[in-house]
Amino acid sequence: MPRIIDSILMELDQEAATTKRVLARVPADKLSWKPHDKSMSLGQLALHVATVPGDVAGMTAADEVDVPDFGEAPTVSSTDELMAAYDKSLSAAREILDGMDDEKAMATWKATKGGQELMAVPRIGVIRSIMLNHWYHHRGKLSVYLRLLNISVPSIYGPSADENPWV
Please determine, for residue 70, whether its predicted confidence score (pLDDT) is greater than 90: no
Q: Is 114 left (phi over 0), alpha (psi -120 to 50) or beta?
A: left
Q: pTM of the full predicted structure? A: 0.95
3-state secondary structure of 41: coil
Q: Where are the domains of the chain?
A: 4-148
Average pLDDT, stretch 2-31? Answer: 97
Instruction: Report pLDDT digits (tens) over 102-126.
Output: 999 999 999 999 999 999 999 999 9
Domain 4-148 has CATH 1.10.287.3510: no
CB 131 within 8 A of CB 52: yes
